[in-house]
Amino acid sequence: MQIKDIVRKVKQIEIRSKRKSEATLMGQYHSAFKGQGMTFSEVRPYQFGDEIRRFDWNKTARFREPYVKVMEEERELTVMLLVDVSASMDYGTKIALKREFVAEICASLGFSAVGNNDKVGLILYADKVYKVIPPQKGRKHVLAIISQILTTDYVPAKSDLDGALKYMLNIFKKKSFVFVMSDFADDYSTKTLRVAAKKHALLGLRVYDEKDNEIPDIGYTLFRDSETGEQVWANTSSARWRYEYAEQQKLKMRRLEEDFKNASAGFLDIHSGEDYSKILYQYFRNK
């Protein structure tokens, strides 16, 4: 992809994602992700509806009329985007490659965070962590994240989610809101998942192409694993073979959902080209 193509693609993603962020996500994002605590702001006279537990009893006794303490939410948060850059993510048969779809989701989350004065950071991983962009605020920072996702070299190797989560746990001590974007094609440790979800608010987003779940009848075909290079012939004309393949994918999906649920983490399944903003909106609303 040439520089002018990258600039055009980033601009397109910015326009689409900001529209979705402002129209759909930002309000629910703010409601779903509360601040880290409350800090004292001021003392003022009691108003109808104020909570009794907010009374400032010393000032109330001194002035012989009720006063309450006003607390403000410590709003500033950190959003970390963990993006799988193994070769299976550089693929797509419909509207966009999975990597481009992920870039747009990250942009929407990033602009929602920036709109709420939160920081956004990025970790790109495959068999190891390849790139880290520390959390910062601002539109230019979000654009740099989009560009990095689009231009990075996607790696022909199995993705090591455990390694990426452990790296994040070691580097980022403050509780963050972590979005893991992957097709989850490779194995991971449920123990590491639980540890990460205990320390941070964790949401897994499985981004997939429809051909990841079901393969059409295209006769005898040579399939090649884009991550390991392994090749295998398969008779896709066999209805039994196609059925068993689809059932294996459904079983894997159920296990993924169960693993994230048992770890007290969120999980969403989104296929490339789908209106992700509605899915995220509903998730934030429920949260």
CA 6 from centroid of its chain's CA atoms: 22
Q: What residue ranges define each of the domains in the chain, with the CATH number in brackets? A: 3-32+75-286 (3.40.50.410), 38-73 (no CATH)
Mean pLDDT of 168-193: 93
pLDDT of 31:
66
Taking CA atoms, 131 is separated from 9, 85, 176, 259, in Å, by 21, 10, 18, 27
| Res 175 pLDDT > 80 | yes
Rounded CA separation 130/152 (Å): 9
- CB count in 10 Å sphere of residue 95: 11
H helices of 48-138, where?
57-63, 98-115
Band of the pLDDT at 1, cuts 50, 70, 90? low
- Interval 190-220: pLDDT, tens: 999 999 999 999 999 999 988 888 888 999 9
- Interval 247-261: pLDDT, tens: 999 999 999 999 999
pLDDT, mean over the chain: 86
With a CB cutoff of 8 Å and minimum separation 6, the contacts of 129 are 123, 163, 164, 167
pLDDT of 228:
83
State the Cα torsion 243-246-252-258 to the nearest 10°: -90
Instruction: Name beta bridge partners: 232.
Output: 223
Q: Compare 92 and 233 and report the one with higher pLDDT.
A: 233
Mean pLDDT of 112-137: 93
Say what the pTM is: 0.80
Q: Measured at the alpha carbon of residue 24, what is the angle toward residues 101 and 4, in degrees to the nearest 5? A: 40
Q: Do 41 and 83 contact (CB within 8 A), yes or no?
A: no
Q: Do 79 and 176 contact (CB within 8 A), yes or no?
A: yes
